[in-house]
Structure 1
Amino acid sequence: MASHEFTLDDLKRILREGAGADEGVDLDGDIIDTDFESLGYESLAMLETGGRIEREFGVTLDDDTLTDARTPRALIETVNALLVPAEIG
């Protein structure tokens, strides 16, 4: 069940828990508009990330969500758009 807004800090935590962090990437830097691939997260890592987001936030991400959301900002906006209807209902 979603209890709050999905934030960049939530995403960074989930990325680290699921796939770790590439040694050459500083997730604490300004990554909001950086492509996930440039951050070292390939499709398998993003699938793991998506699964963790679904379980923790009680949302369902369709197959295209993780490929269409190429940056942290895009993924955060997508997840939060899914959280809004659950909180209103």
Structure 2
Amino acid sequence: MATEPFTLADLKRTLREAAGVTEGVDLDADILDTEFEVIGYESLALLETGSLIEREYGIRLDEDAVGEANTPRAFIDVVNAQLVPAPAA
């Protein structure tokens, strides 16, 4: 399991690999809080992105949480909830 947090750069790379980029969309713009629908990604593309992340990082993502993550920030939070171990008490 990885110890580094999943970042916006990681998400952009994975989105490009899993679903490509819609013409006219600039993933390098400030998209952190932009809804996926606005930047051209639908639920199927996000599920494919989630599957790729699961394979790459050896984690299991909650499908409901992935489906509810409607912005890159929310999606990153879902990934990091599984990726980064909780701090010791």
* CA deviation string 1:51-84 (max 9, x = no partner): 0111112221122022111100011112112122
4+ residue stretches of structure 1 with deviation over 3 A? none
Counterpart position of 1:36: 36
Query: Unpaired runs of 5+ in structure 1?
Result: none
Give the TM-score normalised by structure 2: 0.88
Counterpart position of 1:24: 24
Q: How does 1:57-72 map to 2 (within 5 A)?
A: 57-72=57-72
Instruction: Tell me the C-alpha RMSD between the 2 structures.
Output: 1.8
User: Aligned pairs, how many?
Assistant: 88
After TM superposition, give the deviation of residue 13 of structure 1 in Å.
0.2
Counterpart position of 1:79: 79
The answer to whether the 8 Å contact 1:2/1:87 transfers is no
